[in-house]
Structure 1
């Protein structure tokens, strides 16, 4: 089976790696010391899918490194087929610096938020095959080394020979996967949905609760509308993950609750425990990915002269909380967030 290294063993990296390990792949994770200690204290790495099928890997079977230099001692000792990069987008550059000596010796797979990660990797590893992927689901970190899939959807991989091999590995491990010839369209479509990350972090409530509140839905609808306006002038065509195009999403979000719930129940699979990882970042005083989500929309807006007051307000508030590092991040109602946009 495939030999896989996962650099950035967080929620996504541990979840994906666990399923690959259970399917017989040789998996090695590289992550932070506190997370390795949590797995050791718990005695196992536990994962559960959206339907609560739960699996555990004993801690002594989890090959978890805290220093990437331990992964490969020399270029002659490379025994990795795929290197998955699952760090936050702001850490991509630093992470690539740590393994760029493997240029031409591994296939690198990026399963990250953001648009430009593959370009960053190729800049430093010009002889390496890079597969751009999109991991669609929310993974919640529960106590005791437990990582739970809180939403559903298939992994998307940029089409190619190596990607076809990897897709089969994912499918055999129980993770639905699709190949695409338009990975940019997929990433820009995912970016629209990822605009929920910051609004959820500012709401301070689970995603299902947030989406049950029409005022919070109006905030997200405005963020997506502004992003779509930028896309139109930049000639960016996002692909949809639904049975309808992405421009319909803001209209659905604005519907009265009773209609929204009927439609949303058919298209949204979200666990009651799901929250954006950006909330965890603010809670733990870690850098967020705001520059690569709403910030990406603001870059397009500046370049093409598009007004984006809602995204600007969200971006500004997340950065303010990052800078001030309060004991607990503040929570805002949808109406309060809408008012912020009027002041921008």
Structure 2
């Protein structure tokens, strides 16, 4: 049996195709008895309306595309939840794409969202995508950059001041008496990572005997952090840092695992540790993790609402929203 069409529903309910369309889209224009008859016909025939075709005719989609750097990172999961919650308030759905820090995958998702004519695109980009997003906007698809600022690009953005966040983390370690501070970075080409490192250096520059050592991990995962922690452990005691600032909590948790598993290093006694993002299980780590908190849910929700405002008013000037980070102090830093 073929798929039932709107014409089949009209014939079964003994009404016009226009009446069926009104029942689906503007039921207040139809008498209750007719609405009931049409819905009965829909149920009998198993009719499913072609929402994509309806949206194409209307010129407005009920979906928003979201591209994040790494869906495994709870920061991006919470950001996506914020966008979803705000979208639900407007009867919209969010389609999530994970670039996995791969520019080809990022580009493929942007192609897909362009083809699907989504209402708009939210993206945490790998690099500079301003030209690509400008082309989307020229075809009527607005875009908002999340988790980093893009001043001068003609695009709206919602982010956190990551330079201030890195400075908060290292200043805190210095206030705890630490002077040999390793900053564990992964993917240094990513703007957020570079900004957090810049903030760390700025904090250390204000104290004459504070030294920053950049330790580059292979990536930004727990496993990458564990490997980095093992490298630090392999050094002689005198060559080890007395503090570590990891540019995200996944790296910090991995470093913590490496340091405490052997029992040969005390955290925070010998090495104090600070992460970034304040993901849910930072507080539940074997040594509760001091971290720089970002309002991830608020970032996602704010970006979604800005996107809809730009969808409703294409002449709206680009806006930049920058939230301030907050240091959440726990046992890992010795405070």
Query: TM-score, normalising length from structure 1?
Result: 0.28
Kindly indicate whether structure 1 or structure 2 has the higher relative contact order, using CA contacts under 8 Å at least 6 residues apart.
Answer: 2
